[in-house]
Amino acid sequence: MLIERIETNIEEMEKEEIIRRHIEKVYLESAHLVKRIQRVITDHGREIGIRLKDPRDLSAGDVLYIDEKNMIVVDVVADDLLVISPRSLKEMGTIAHQLGNRHLPAQFENDEMMVQYDYLVEELLQELEIPYKREERKVKQAFRHIGHSHGA
């Protein structure tokens, strides 16, 4: 089976539309969500080729295939994350500046900042006494590095 476009996202579907179908899942590491061309295997052992025509990343919940009885949905394997919970705007600015200097991609959920685990960042958080926890958590999108140069 070759997938060339995303049908929809499961979050945009009616509950009745979801529960009447058998769901097969493709489990991807968050880093693989940015790959437009890849070969994957569903949790039922079906091999699928993905070659997206549109220049977009995959997201958790993307529906790769759907018919009257079945659908194949993207799920994401949990990442090892540092979940940072600054107590003030000053703490947020301090850690955001430090992580920005390291060009580390971050994601935000509610009042939490998430970065992929790095022992140097953990040491920095301890040194700055900024609250954080290390946990395995699924993210909906890939941690994407933004191209940037300090040169002119």
Which segment of 12-16, 125-129, 148-152 scores lowest on mean pLDDT?
A: 148-152
The pTM score is 0.74
What residue ranges define each of the domains in the chain, with the CATH number in brackets?
2-76 (2.60.260.20), 79-137 (3.30.70.790)
**Crossing angle of helices 89-101/119-128, nearest 10°?**
150
For the segment 59-91, what is each residue's pLDDT rounded down to a tens digit? Answer: 999 999 999 999 999 999 999 999 999 999 999
> In the numeric block, which tokens belong to residue 91?
């703490």
